[in-house]
Amino acid sequence: MAAVLRIPTVLRPAMGGESVIAVEGSTVGEVLLKLTTTYPAIKGQLLNDDGTLHRFLNVYVNDDDVRYLGGVEASIANNDEITLLPAVAGGVW
C-alpha cells in the first residue's frame, strides 16, 4: 500500500526538495522507516533512537493525529494522506 506523504517546507531540503512523496507501508512506523532509509538526514527530526515519534513532530493521517490512532503502529490504507508537521518555536526578539 502506498501512502501520500506531505512534506513541510522546513523538511524539504533534507528530502531533495520534494513536497509530496509516495511511500509504501502498512503502518506509520513502516512509512517513516522507509522514508528515513531513503533520506537518512531526516531521521533525527522524525524519530527517537527507540523508533518512537520525536516529541516535536506532529503526524496526521487523513487529518487525524496519530498519537490518538496508536502512534507509529497506526494503520495506513492505500492512498491515505500523511502530513508531517514539526513544531516551530521562536525566541525572544
What domains does the chain contain, in order, with CATH numbers? 2-86 (3.10.20.30)
SS3 state at 19: coil
| Greatest Cα pair distance in the chain | 46
Q: How far apart (Å, rounded) are the C-alpha atoms in residues 77 and 45?
A: 24
Looking at residue 60, what is its pLDDT? Answer: 95
At 26-59, the pLDDT tens digits run 999 999 999 989 999 888 888 888 888 888 889 9
Question: What secondary structure letter does DSSP report for 47?
Answer: B
Average pLDDT over residues 56-82: 92
Give me the percent of the chain exceeding a pLDDT of 90.
53
The pTM of this model reads 0.84
